[in-house]
Amino acid sequence: MSSSRFSPALQASDLNDFIAPSQDCIVSLNKNSAASRLPIKKKQVVVSTKPPEESVKISLKDCLACSGCITSAETVMLEKQSLDDFVTRINSGKTVIVSVSPQSRASLAAFFGLSQSQVFRKLTALFKSMGVKAVYDTSSSRDLALIEACNEFISRYKLSQLSSDKEVGTSLPVLSSACPGWICYAEKTLGSYILPYISSVKSPQQVIGAAIKHHMVEKLGLKPYDVYHVTVMPCYDKKLEAVRGDFVFSVEEKEVTEVDSVLTTGEVLDLIQSKSVDFKTMEESPLDRLLTNVDDGGHLYGVSGGSGGYAETIFRYAARALFNREIEGPLDFKILRNSDFREVTLEVEGRPVLKFALCYGFRNLQNIVRKVKMGKCEYQFIEVMACPSGCLNGGGQIKPAKGQSPKDLIQQLEGVYMQDVSVSNPFDNPIAKRLYDDWLVQPGSDNAKRYLHTQYHPVVKSVTSQLQNW
């Protein structure tokens, strides 16, 4: 199976370049058991889709932990996080919670000719008819991630203003961290020089996972291991993110994962179509407000920006916090080499004081990384996304209709994305306020760092896989 479903950056880091036929699996070697060694040849994957306690030989998490991979991680993952697996798990006696991304809602809305709000209510009805307990919205966790990212940027900016080189270090630029395609590429291909620049804030997917498994379960009177949490996302890369070891913890000696499974938008469309229901005319359910950006009048709200609005939100916040400037109206992003590489500048008394960039797609990403490496990056913050045009164009989104060009589809999605969603400031989000009051205390607190931030790890390739790339 090719890795073409992943983002361009992830394909560049090439999961399959870790395939080295006829070696022993490192997972088994680590277990020190000769009997459990798995000689695996290319494409001959030994994977069980049964629950872990039964007979899984290799999990995707293990695969990502290994620098000498000998099998196709994508194949492992697709079996482990498939629609079939989801349907099986839904009847396993666990409390199932689904968190839907706004990009996925927009893709389904464009496909069915509905609004985001209609799609969300119908999806809620569909999932609940299958036994799902609650359906939430990752716009709420994105607001939490944005608040943490604003706070982190101010701290790192202030650090960069110190005089000693040692203190300034790698404080700027801050490179955004919400895109797992970019993170995987940075860890596997770029390595240790770039990782300190990457924001430590978890992505919205992992933030909602942490909120549900570390905090909300208590409110619901459940144990974290009794909840099966599924997200609906615009790309396959999010499946890889969900299984990172950093997002697994243990409770009462049981392994708990913040996000148990990820379905792409396309897989949810398959689910809808498999149900033989007329989604367009299907009854709608009220939304679950606990972790959904919906106001008292039933209107959705969130930040604009199909890739999370990181650069825009932090730019406005930093302009106010650092330079006492309130920016009204849309930001004036200037297109540079192409529409996927744009910058915005704040000038104070004729002098540029803030310079941020959006950098989408592998080609632009490589350019920016080169500049960071040479110490010639003029930006303080860069919103890095692996997919050209960003998350609305993720590899897991519904493909263009017959006769529709990808460009037309993106334009349509951009229109649908904020059509019935009011633009709001994350700092005004009552859900975020409540989570800080009840759980996290304040942005950048010890609790916030513990639950909403993460770390990155350079992956050293095995000699064999390096030789293969010669």
Q: Which residues bind ligand SF4 (CB under 6 A)?
A: 7, 25-27, 58, 62-63, 66, 68-71, 179, 181, 234-235, 237, 385-387, 390-391, 394
CB of 26 to ligand SF4, least distance (A): 4
Please say whether the beta carbons of 106 and 425 come within 8 A. Answer: no
Nearer to ligand SF4, 70 or 230 (CB): 70
CB of 32 to ligand SF4, least distance (A): 14
Nearer to ligand SF4, 259 or 354 (CB): 259
CB of 40 to ligand SF4, least distance (A): 6
Name the 3-class secondary structure at 135.
strand
Nearer to ligand SF4, 118 or 462 (CB): 462
Nearer to ligand SF4, 237 or 288 (CB): 237
CB of 396 to ligand SF4, least distance (A): 7
The DSSP bridge partners found for residue 228 are 96
Nearer to ligand SF4, 26 or 132 (CB): 26
Residue 131 contacts by C-beta under 8 Å, 6 or more apart in sequence? 90, 91, 96
Please say whether the beta carbons of 27 and 60 come within 8 A. Answer: no
End-to-end alpha carbon distance in the chain: 22
Neighbours of 46 (CB within 10 A): 13
d(C-alpha 385, C-alpha 390), whole Å: 6
CB of 351 to ligand SF4, least distance (A): 33
The first and second tokens of residue 39, run together, are: 């000689």
CB of 180 to ligand SF4, least distance (A): 6
CB of 394 to ligand SF4, least distance (A): 3
Residue 235 contacts by C-beta under 8 Å, 6 or more apart in sequence? 6, 7, 180, 181, 264, 387, 391, 394, 395, 396, 397
Nearer to ligand SF4, 36 or 445 (CB): 36
Entry field: residues in the chain: 470
The first and second tokens of residue 188, run together, are: 């596997």
Nearer to ligand SF4, 27 or 108 (CB): 27
CB of 133 to ligand SF4, least distance (A): 26
Nearer to ligand SF4, 20 or 272 (CB): 20
227-233, strands of its sheet edge to edge: 134-137, 95-100, 227-233, 261-264
CB of 142 to ligand SF4, least distance (A): 12
**Residue 79 backbone phi and psi in degrees, to 5:** -75, -35
Nearer to ligand SF4, 58 or 207 (CB): 58
Please say whether the beta carbons of 103 and 390 come within 8 A. Answer: no
CB of 187 to ligand SF4, least distance (A): 14
Please say whether the beta carbons of 25 and 58 come within 8 A. Answer: yes
Helix (H) or strand (E) holding 411: helix 406-417
- Candidates 193, 159, 198; CA nearest to 175 is 198
Please say whether the beta carbons of 250 and 258 come within 8 A. Answer: no
Burial class (CB in 10 A: 0-12, 13-18, 19+), 436: middle
Nearer to ligand SF4, 69 or 198 (CB): 69
CB of 280 to ligand SF4, least distance (A): 26
Please say whether the beta carbons of 420 and 117 come within 8 A. Answer: yes
Question: In degrees, to the nearest 5, what angle opens at C-alpha 97 toward C-alphas 95 and 98?
Answer: 155
User: Per DSSP, which regions of 134-276 are E strands?
Assistant: 134-137, 174-175, 227-233, 248-251, 254-257, 261-264
Nearer to ligand SF4, 287 or 386 (CB): 386
Question: Could you say which DSSP state residue 400 is in?
Answer: P
